[in-house]
Amino acid sequence: GMCAPIVAAKLGSRAKPLCVGIWSYHLGRLLSYGVAGSVLGTLTFELGAFCRSIGQGISLLLGSTLLVAGIFLLLNHRMATAVNLFAKVSILVMNTLANPLRAVPVLLQDLGLGVITVALPCMSLTPALIAAAGSGSAAGGAALMVAFYLGTLPVMALVPGLPGVLVDVLPRRL
């Protein structure tokens, strides 16, 4: 719902499954997801030295907060303020990272797009990051995020190229 259309818009006609740009993007995703999982797992491991099972507690607290926020959002649209704040922070981070990328070669831009994808407010990525934090280890967090990446790879490799396929398949009159 979010990443695939962004990639389709960025790569345009290059978003075919065999193009170099899409795999440069996926390499960026793999790197950023693995690093994020490792960092989050390490943080909870280090915090765990002070308090036993803090990683599980943090994971439970963040997961519960996410669930409660989702319920409130469904019940009352005024609760969107917290979500809007999160979206604004994400946009600020992405703009800070994305603007310098415009001066580099296209394949590095594709790689950069993959790297900053980890900063998107995503309904499936956020729980995976929370689970990586709850792993309590750098290796566990990285492994969880690499598994998440591999699970999303089929859709993320095929869906961005779908608009180009539809244009080629559908009659030009439509």
Distances (CA, A) of 164 to 167, 168, 170: 5, 6, 10
pLDDT above 60 (res 173): no
Q: Give me the pLDDT at residue 147, please.
A: 95
Q: What is the pLDDT of residues 38-90, one digit of tens each?
A: 998 888 776 666 665 566 677 777 777 777 776 766 666 554 565 566 677 76
Q: Are the CB atoms for 135 and 53 separated by under 8 Å? A: no
pLDDT tens digits for 3-22?
777 777 777 666 666 677 78
Question: From CA 23, how far away is CA 17, in angstroms rounded?
Answer: 8
Q: Check pLDDT > 80 for residue 25.
A: yes
Alpha helices (runs of H) in 12-137, residue ranges in sequence order: 20-48, 54-75, 80-101, 106-116, 125-134
Q: What is Dmax (Cα atoms) for the chain?
A: 66
Q: Return d(Cα 100, Cα 28) in angstroms, integer.
A: 16
Query: 100-145 pLDDT, tens per residue?
Result: 767 778 888 888 888 888 887 777 888 898 888 888 889 999 999 9
**pLDDT for position 19:** 76
Instruction: Please tell me which residue, 157 or 70, carries the higher pLDDT value.
Output: 157
